[in-house]
Amino acid sequence: MNVVTLADLQQFSSEKMKKNNIFQTERFFCDIYCFEPGQDQKGHVHRDQDKVYIVLEGQGTFQVGAEQRVLVAGQGTMASAGEEHGVKNHTSERLKVLVFVAPNPS
């Protein structure tokens, strides 16, 4: 059994948002995205993958499709395959987001 400690996998970079991989297989991956203030993940699309964002700490502006909302710790959202999505840390505090990505089941 592969057991991880999330606190050990939360590294930040002053240059850009840092993706910290937790688990990965051919069908799935799970990361912690760490954003310094002002950093973002530009809007983009995964043609064949669904993505789930869960805010662990801080708050950020999340875009899914044409909608943008501020989410805080304990909240999450999902972008289905083909939907544009992105994240921006619009605050002066750090943002940590748990991310799950898997192929669209269809």
Locate the domains of the chain by residue range. Answer: 17-87+96-103
Kindly compute the dihedral angle of the four CA atoms of residues 11, 13, 18, 20, in this order, to the nearest 10 degrees.
-20
Contacts of 82 (CB under 8 A, 6+ apart): 45, 46, 47
Residue 83 pLDDT? 97
Instruction: Find out whether 59 and 15 touch, Cβ atoms under 8 Å.
Output: no
pLDDT digits (tens, 9 = 90+) for 52-74: 999 999 999 999 999 999 999 99
Mean pLDDT across the chain, nearest whole number? 95
**pTM (two decimals):** 0.93
At 68, which amino acid appears? Q
Is residue 98 over pLDDT 70?
Answer: yes
- Per-residue pLDDT at 106 exceeds 60: no
17-87+96-103 is a CATH 2.60.120.10 domain:
yes
Q: Maximum CA pair distance of the chain?
A: 40
